[in-house]
Chains A and B, each alone.
Chain A
Amino acid sequence: MKRFARLLAILNAGVLLGTAGSPPSPSPSEQEIGLHAGRGYFDGNARQVVYYDHVVVTNAQGRLACERLTINLPPAGAADSHPTNAVAETNLDIIFVDSKGQTNHLTADRGTYDYSVVNAVTNETFTFSGHATNDSPQAVFSGEPLVWDNIRNRFDFGRHVDMQIKVKSNSGGTNASPFNILK
């Protein structure tokens, strides 16, 4: 069970840029996200921004690249500047450094971030679909879809789960099967 928890910790360390490597914090500070794209379209009525062509998003923890990124902004005047929804499409490629300082590489066809506060209940999820795969120093895994519930700290691997644990050979190693991750 310990290994499984460790694996999840690696996965959850930063599934989508912005969460990457962020340690738990009771009072989150403000972070700055930079975004470059070839062209963009802002719909003032829908408060939606769509970026096209070699979209690259960076913050202190990593980088996200895709071909199209749609961000739904909160209502004008909202106290919370959190985007309510973001969808990254086509050749989604995320590189992030987790809380242990290890580099992860996540790829998928599509990534969706959803954030809402309904009746004082916050919902925040990251969903990756379409050959979603994460490669970390410890493991490579994929699922359809991969869903991380950032409020309930719950991971759903969906269907077609595939995991490959990377075992390092060392002098103090054990003979335990690398596939006994649930023990």
Chain B
Amino acid sequence: MRLSAKVLGGPVLALWLLPVTAETQMQSVPAVPLGGTATRLSSIVYFDPPNEQRVKLRLSGSEMTPLPGNVFNVKQLAVQQFNLAGSREALVEAPECLYAPLDGEANSAGHLRLTLGDNKIRIEGDGFFWRQSDNSLAISNNVYTVMKTGAWKVSAP
């Protein structure tokens, strides 16, 4: 896994990436005191060998602030998931969320947008809970979905 980030808080970024892979290698991360705010975050997760050159996941955020309990407040979160062919399978966007990297969980009372399959399915809602272990996402309020699909054919007898 390779990383690039302009950060003001190296340990913060380390915690952010901890659950992603144990093989994390950080580059160009200045050492700053814990409690700082990281900005313009970007991290990439690669597929396992033999596809280690292909991007599996790209995470980004405009700002991340540490909170008590190994929780981070992330702004403008965007998570993109790709398949082996390089096509994007999913995009998660949230203006703001709380991220617990050690637990592999994220939640927010704010808005969330999930885009699937070449923008053909878009799911939005307010308030969410995401869990990495089972790749699940619960949206608690005002769920709205737009699905683009081929029109069904009906031939009446």
Contact = CB atoms under 8 A, between A and B. Distances in A.
Interface of A: 5, 8-9, 12-14, 18-19, 22-25, 28-45, 49, 51, 73-74, 76-78, 80-83, 99, 124, 150, 153, 155
Contacts, number: 139
Contact of B121 (A19, A22, A81, A153): A81
A38 B143 CA distance: 6
A18 B114 CA distance: 23
Contacts of B4: none
Interface in B11-64: none
Instruction: Please name the 5 residue pairs, one residue from A and one from B, whose CB atoms are nearest each other, closest first.
Output: A44-B135, A40-B143, A35-B145, A9-B156, A28-B151
26 contacts: A8-B156, A12-B155, A22-B151, A22-B152, A22-B153, A24-B154, A24-B155, A28-B152, A30-B150, A32-B147, A33-B147, A39-B125, A40-B125, A40-B138, A40-B139, A43-B134, A45-B134, A49-B145, A73-B117, A73-B121, A76-B90, A76-B116, A77-B89, A81-B149, A83-B147, A153-B155
Contacts of B114: 42
Contacts of B118: 81
Contacts of B138: 39-42
Contact of B157 (A5, A29, A31): A5
Contacts of A19: 152, 154
B150 A81 contact: yes
A140 B59 CA distance: 55
A150 B151 CA distance: 13
Contacts of A76: 83, 89-90, 116-117
A39 B116 CA distance: 18
A81 B152 contact: no
A36 B116 CA distance: 17
Nearest to B155: A24
Contact of B150 (A28, A34, A73): A28
B67 interface: no
B139 A31 contact: no
Nearest to B134: A45
A30 B147 CA distance: 10
B139 A24 contact: no
Nearest to B132: A44
B11 to A, nearest CB: 29
